[in-house]
Amino acid sequence: MSSFKYEGSELELFSNATHWKSYWLKELQPYCGTNILDVGAGIGATARTFRNHKCERWLALEPDESLASHIKQAVQAGEFQQTFKVQVGSSKDLDHNELFDTILYIDVLEHIAEHKEELTRVAQHLLPGGRIIILSPAHQWLFTPFDQSVGHVRRYNRTSLLAAKPDHLTIERIFYLDSVGMMASLGNRLVLRSAMPNLAQIKIWDDWMVPASRVVDKLTFNQIGKSIVGVFQLPA
């Protein structure tokens, strides 16, 4: 296992986006099973978001040992159930016998240059009928200094996300979230060009724009938004 150090510094900041996490959880949870692999688990934000999800097993896979240590401390403090495990490493370090019904890439795939190779490799760890669920930033024309500062290789649209799909998986659904937030991201792209939002900006987006997006997204049939979700399934 090679040494890896995550270059971003936004994880703690975005942990304050509680409305956003509640929103995407509601949209993703119907596709999630009970045996879950959380790829690029970071400081455990996704696991905390899924805290009340009925889960028989959760494996948090994080290549940055210092970030993984945050999760391990939370485990020792009793924040997670006994079925929760932490492993330092990437998909390359999984035992070939490890199988899951759900594999999550929550704000992770955009950091991986060889994204199709990554998904094809991890798809070998899907149980029949299992799903890979991806949440990533959308639209390359929204790429900003912030994306660069946290190590994003790309942002996705339907075409580029489908290009990363393993050939033997089927498309269950691809859709967008946060149409109102997309306008804020466009403002940052054209005017602010900020490398990192501050807490006040995060709270304005989370407290006002995300609730508005929950309404507008339905009206636009999830055809626009600053985030994209892809659900790919291994045929049963």
CATH of the domain at 213: 3.40.50.150
Residue 191: per-residue pLDDT: 47
Task: Examine residue 156 and state whether it is found in any structural domain, yes or no.
Answer: yes
Question: In the numeric block, which tokens belong to residue 85?
Answer: 């495990």
Residue 17: per-residue pLDDT: 84
Task: Examine residue 4 and state whether it is found in any structural domain, yes or no.
Answer: no
SS3 state at 174:
strand
Say which range, 7-16, 75-84, 92-101, 213-222, has the weakest mean pLDDT.
7-16
pLDDT of 136 higher than 50: yes
Q: Residue 89: which pLDDT band, with cuts at 50, 70 and 90?
A: very high
Task: Examine residue 63 and state whether it is found in any structural domain, yes or no.
Answer: yes
Task: Examine residue 1 and state whether it is found in any structural domain, yes or no.
Answer: no
More confident residue, 144 or 110: 110
Residue 189: per-residue pLDDT: 60
SS3 state at 57:
strand
**Contact of 180 with 209, CB cutoff 8 Å:** yes
Task: Examine residue 62 and state whether it is found in any structural domain, yes or no.
Answer: yes
- Which residues, listed in sequence order, are joined to residue 134 by a DSSP beta bridge? 105, 230
Name the domain count of the chain: 1
Q: How far apart are CA 102 and CA 233, in angstroms?
A: 9
Task: Examine residue 185 and state whether it is found in any structural domain, yes or no.
Answer: yes
Range of the domain at 20: 11-233
115 CB-side CA count, 13 A: 22
pLDDT of 19 higher than 90: yes
pLDDT of 107 higher than 90: yes
Residue 195: per-residue pLDDT: 58
Q: Residue 2: which pLDDT band, with cuts at 50, 70 and 90?
A: very low
Evaluate the CA torsion angle 205, 24, 178, 67 in order and state its sign. positive
Question: In the numeric block, which tokens belong to residue 51?
Answer: 């805290």
